[in-house]
């Protein structure tokens, strides 16, 4: 039979490992990177590469279907797919400037779209 001291020690060790794993999982790298992303609709449409990372700043100008929207920036317009959970309960209208991060979705025979993974409200800029 296992002694109480041994059982207590094993339980404490298991909890310590679990806490260490939880702490490590939430860490994020904040240094320099070589990952690049296209930042305009024009550059996406000029040379679309499937699954390429994009970060675009603009507006949702129209809802096309349940999860598809028209997104417009200073260089053009493209269809984006946004799942409801990505909105995270925020209400975003056509006057809201947002930043979207996602991947290019290029299927043969279909128009290029962006599969949005994250939405942020763009910081307000003052006009002087």
Kindly state the percentage of the chain with pLDDT values over 70. Answer: 73
* 33 occurs within a structural domain: no
* 34 occurs within a structural domain: no
Count of structural domains within the chain? 1
Give the other-Cβ count within 10 Å of 31's Cβ.
4
Residues 107 and 121: their CA atoms lie apart, in Å, by: 29
CATH for 89: 2.40.50.200
* 8 occurs within a structural domain: no
Q: Is the pTM of this model over 0.75?
A: no
In which domain, by residue range, is 113 found?
41-121
* 6 occurs within a structural domain: no
- What average pLDDT does the structure give for the chain? 83
Q: Are 95 and 35 in contact (CB under 8 A)?
A: no
Least confident of 14-18, 67-71, 87-91: 14-18
């Amino acid at each position: 039979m296992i002694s109480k001291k041994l059982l207590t020690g094993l339980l404490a060790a298991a909890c310590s490992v679990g806490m260490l794993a939880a702490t490590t999982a939430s860490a994020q790298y904040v240094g320099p990177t070589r990952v690049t992303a296209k930042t305009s609709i024009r550059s996406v449409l000029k040379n679309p590469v499937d699954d390429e990372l994009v970060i675009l700043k603009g507006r949702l100008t129209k809802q096309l279907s349940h999860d598809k929207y028209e997104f417009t920036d200073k260089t053009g317009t493209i269809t984006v797919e946004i799942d409801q959970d990505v909105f995270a309960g925020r209400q975003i209208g056509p006057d809201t400037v947002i930043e979207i991060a996602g991947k290019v979705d290029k299927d043969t025979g279909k128009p290029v779209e962006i599969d949005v993974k994250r939405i942020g409200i763009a910081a307000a800029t003052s006009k002087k």
